Amino acid sequence: MQSNALKRLLVIGMVILWNVLCPVWAQRTTSYTLVIHGGAGTITRANMSAEMERAYHQSLQRALDLGEKMLAGGLPALEVVEKVVRLLEDDSLFNAGKGAVLTNAGEHELDAAIMDGKNLGAGSVAGVKTIKNPISAARAVMEKTEHVMLSGSGAEAFARQIGLEMVPNSYFSTESRRRGLKRALEEEKKNTPNAPQPAAGISSVRVDWKYGTVGAVALDQQGNLAAATSTGGMTNKRYGRIGDAPLIGAGTYADSLVAVSCTGWGEFFIRMVMAKSLADRVRFGNQSLVKAGDELIQIALPALGGDGGLIAVDRNGEPIMPFCTEGMYRGYVRKEAGSDKVKRVVAIYKD
């Protein structure tokens, strides 16, 4: 008699445990989100041909296709954001890797960062000129050194040592970027013909920065978050200028609650510590991701004189893509637990 009662209690306990664990298991094994961006700026239908618009849409869709396949296959968020950003670095439409903008000296100086929200692991490279995929170098800094950031020739020596693909600086050039630098130099000369050179770190012209920074943030099936950002910086930049993208907490950040990648006028994102500020509003200010993003990008950033946007995802898979410019190349793919449907959005303009 006691044996039967014990069996019944055991069965009831197993049913209760199953009902408790099933939703958790479903959340951990069937839901995921990937959000990407390809830069924010003066992007309007008036200055975009139909052919170019299609090209950008196709590039964003390819990046989402790659990331969705990886996430659906159970791969970790860190792996996904690196591979998606590598794809965007290899796409000459964007200002990262191939197709990066040119400095005042007619060279390319590239920055990238990556962060693993699971353990706050982070790595970045800044001012590199010959690393084909800076985002992979950033990950290697995180995983193969005791450091967080390497710069310039030191970062390149490290990349060669570990066998990353190296290319001549000219590999990154495209005709459109050469034209962009020429326009910037002509505009600068026209507007300030007798002016002294700008102070260190200051550029008087921001032509073509609208095609800037690429980034990806992801939530994987295990509930982990990661972020990655890569950029060629600002057209006509001088003196080894470095923006927010490789700075952990400014342009790139991920923890157990939020993953963030920023794009825009980097000096303002640095001053606002934008990515970490967003995460802190969620963690300590009890703000929703949507409210935190809107207040920072739509109110605080313009009030300071800056512009741009960001992408982020929280541990619930909620994506945001706020920006205060006329457009931002952006998109996301999201699969919620308990649903067979995958939601996908790709957009460029504000409307």
Residues involved in catalysis: 213
305: number of Cβ within 10 Å: 10
**61: which residues sit within 8 A by CB, 6+ positions away?**
331, 346
Cα separation, 203 vs 193, in Å, equals: 15
Helix (H, G, I), strand (E, B) or coil at 238: coil
Cα separation, 47 vs 15, in Å, equals: 61
Cα separation, 281 vs 335, in Å, equals: 25
The single-letter DSSP state of residue 151 is E
Cα distances from 268 to residues 3, 10, 274, 305, in angstroms, run: 70, 60, 8, 8
Helix axes 77-89, 50-72, angle to 10 degrees: 160
Put residue 335 in one of left, alpha, beta given phi > 0 → left and psi -120 to 50 → alpha.
beta
**1: which residues sit within 8 A by CB, 6+ positions away?**
none
Largest Cα span, the chain: 101
